[in-house]
Structure formats: structure tokens, C-alpha cells
Amino acid sequence: MKTRIVKAIGDPEADREVMEEAGRIIRSGGLVAIPTETVYGLAGDALNPRSAGKIYETKGRPSDNPLIVHIADTGSIGRIARDIPDMAYRLAEAYWPGPLTMVLNKTDAVPKETTGGLDTVAVRLPVNKIAREFIAASGGYIAAPSANLSGKPSCTRASHCIEDLDGKIEMIIDGGEVGIGLESTIVDLTEERPCILRQGYINEEMLHSVLGDVRTDPPESAHPKAPGMKYRHYAPGGVLSIVKGKRESVIARINELAASHKERGESCAVISASENASEYGNVIVKDAGSLRNEDEIARRIFSILRELDSDGVQYIYSENFDTPRLGAAITDRMNRAAGFCVINATEED
């Protein structure tokens, strides 16, 4: 298949032709990769069971892993979700449009193929203008997992989508680099006590301020409530470990490990905060951004994992980016990428 790669800027006039074409593709059961504020998505018609099947097949994703349904306005929610609790409207008021997904009970309009067999549906109203033009032009209900092939880091630029999807889907819409770089926060509202299933830009404190009570699904649970959290994610080709502890101990330990890889003739890289980047020797240094700018670290992290993959680096050590606002979300993604291999550099000092 020939994949059309087109640009959009988020202006309805300028994007009209692209959106008309994209809408036709979606309505006839095809797939389009689209930018959102979090990561790029692989979009299909959420109400068409065959589109869901195509999404699973294209990504190489297990079909029990449900898809998020994206809408363009809050009013669309009634067709796909039922028994919507008051707390959903409060969250929508506070954080929609934006990087927040809510799990609700589904209506019969949503095929089981889209929800991986579940009776619930995950719903998100993105803030990205291109995404919303696209959803509106495509019938209003778009299933979109992250656009990466299953197991690869999420796509934060159109070039990542081209790497993974060129020749496999009808169209890729290039909207430039995404703003956030981490997938949306997911909160389950189907039980009395709301539960965070995936950490993201809308952090625990922000949810707490609206909901009062909120709990978190444990990160290494064998039966996570978001089925996707049980699969190893974002795994780079090399062996990735997270090194945590006091700054000096982390730097010393990584330098020690890097030196031993060098001795054995193995390639090695470190993912470092800008503040520490000049402290490392014998090693490729990937600067993730300043600890004073955690938004930059969040935005860059998946792209760095992809770069390390294409460089074919064998061993990767990452500092632990436990920053105040986005630390929980960044750490979650990095720990998963590392298969929860965490070295505590302070403990053994």
C-alpha cells in the first residue's frame, strides 16, 4: 500500500482538503496516523468492528488490549457511554479537552472489537486542533492507540510513524512534534472509588483536587485493570537499566558500568539530565533535558529511546527522572521500557 504523508497545521481552512480525504479513508474502514497533544495515534472508525481488527493487525497488538475512543466534543459521550457518574462531568469540566482518558460503562454502539471484549469504554477528548478537526471530519468517534508498532516506543513525531507504518496504512498526517510526549492519564470511573490506571500529564494531585478520593492501580500488578499495562512496553533493542540514588552515586555507578562495557568491547549509552551530561566518560550521552524543565524531559524521552535503537546501542543506563510534577509518569514509562530493571546506586555504597 502507498501511504500518503501530508502536513496539517490546525487551521480549518488550510487543512480542509487533508481532512476531507482523511475522513473518506476512515469512513471506508481505512487507517490514518494523527498527531495529538500526547503522542501520535493510529486512527480508525471506533464504531466499525473491522477497523478495530485492522488496527490490531497493523500494530501487531493483542486483540484483548482495548482501544481508546477519541471524541471532538463532550456532548458526543452519551452515544458511547452509559450510567456516566457525576465525577466524569467534573473531570471533563476541569481537564477536557486534554490528556485525560476516562473509563466508563459502554453502550451497544461501541463494538466489543474496539474494547477488547470489555463492557467498558475508554474515552478521551484531545486538545490538539489537528486531532479535533480530524475526529470531526471522520464521523466523531475515533479509536486510536498510540501509533507505534506494539512494543516500540510511542511516536512523538511524524518521522516515527513513517518508521513504523509506512506502506501499512493509507495516510500519515504530519503535525510536527507533539507537545507532551507521554500518553494520556487513564482513570477508571466504573467503580465507586476512582482508580488511576496509567500515570500521565494530569497527575495524581490534579485528579485528587477534583475527585477528592482516588487510588492507583499498582504498577507491577499481574492483572492490571488497563490490559495494556501487562505487556512489556517501549522496549529498546539494547538492555536498559534505570540507575537511581544520590546524584554522585548514580554518576559513579554508571561510569563504572560504562568502563566495564568498554573493556569488553560493548557499546553503551547513558540517558542523562543536562545538569549531569558532562560527568560521563567512555559512553554515548543522550541529554534528556534539564531537571528544571521536566516538560522537555517528558517530550524527549521516547524519541531518545528510538535514537538508541537505530544506533544499535547494546547497553543503556538511564538516570531516574523523579521530577515533582511529571516524575510519576516519566518513571512509569522508563521502568516499563527497562522491564523494571532498577539499580539502586546508593544502597551498596
* Least Cβ distance, residue 183 to Mg ion (angstroms): 6
Q: Does 101 bind ligand TXA (CB under 6 A)?
A: yes
Q: Number of C-alpha atoms within 13 angstroms, CB side, residue 342?
A: 14
Q: Does 97 bind ligand TXA (CB under 6 A)?
A: no
The binder of 23, among ligand TXA, Mg ion, none, by C-beta within 5 to 8 A per type, is none
Helix boundaries (H) for 28-85: 49-59, 77-80
Q: Does 15 bind ligand TXA (CB under 6 A)?
A: no
- Determine the residue type at 189: L
Of 36-44, 166-174, 261-269, 293-301, the segment contacting ligand TXA by CB under 6 A is 36-44
For residue 177, give the C-alpha cell.
Answer: 512534534
* Least Cβ distance, residue 132 to ligand TXA (angstroms): 12
* Least Cβ distance, residue 60 to Mg ion (angstroms): 12
For residue 46, give the C-alpha cell.
Answer: 471506533
User: Strand pairing partners for 121?
Assistant: 104
Of 25-33, 179-187, 202-210, 292-300, the segment contacting ligand TXA by CB under 6 A is 179-187
Grid look-up 569488553 returns 264
Q: Does 129 bind ligand TXA (CB under 6 A)?
A: no
Q: Which is nearer to Mg ion, 144 or 308 (CB)?
A: 144
3-state secondary structure of 103: strand
Binder to ligand TXA among 121, 178, 187, 269 (CB under 6 A)?
Answer: 121
Residue 209 sits at φ, ψ, to 5 deg, of: -65, -25
Please, what's the b/e burial string for 304-327 (b: 16 or more CB within 10 A of its CB; e: otherwise)? bbbbbbeeebebbbbbbbebeebb
H/E element holding 56? helix 49-59
Binder to ligand TXA among 77, 135, 186, 235 (CB under 6 A)?
Answer: 186
**Residue nearest ligand TXA, Cβ-based:** 228
Binder to ligand TXA among 124, 152, 160, 300 (CB under 6 A)?
Answer: 124
Which of the 8 DSSP states describes residue 340?
A: T
* Least Cβ distance, residue 10 to Mg ion (angstroms): 23
Q: Does 184 bind ligand TXA (CB under 6 A)?
A: yes
Of 59-67, 71-79, 133-141, 320-328, the segment contacting ligand TXA by CB under 6 A is 59-67
CB 100 within 8 A of CB 185: yes
Among left, alpha and beta (phi > 0; psi -120 to 50; other), residue 282 is left
Of 140-148, 262-270, 290-298, 320-328, the segment contacting ligand TXA by CB under 6 A is 140-148
Give the integer Cα–Cα distance in Å for 289 and 296. Answer: 6
Q: Does 118 bind ligand TXA (CB under 6 A)?
A: yes
3-state secondary structure of 159: helix
Of 74-82, 117-125, 307-315, 325-333, the segment contacting ligand TXA by CB under 6 A is 117-125
Q: Does 44 bind ligand TXA (CB under 6 A)?
A: no
CB 147 within 8 A of CB 165: yes
Binder to ligand TXA among 44, 98, 181, 228 (CB under 6 A)?
Answer: 228
Site residues for ligand TXA, 207-226, by CB under 6 A, read: 225-226
For residue 218, give the C-alpha cell.
Answer: 499498582
3-state secondary structure of 148: coil
Residues binding Mg ion (CB under 5 A): 146
Give the integer Cα–Cα distance in Å for 327 and 336. Answer: 14
Task: Return residues touching ligand TXA (CB under 6 A).
Answer: 36, 38-39, 41, 65-68, 101, 103, 115, 118, 120-122, 124, 144-146, 183-184, 186, 197, 225-229
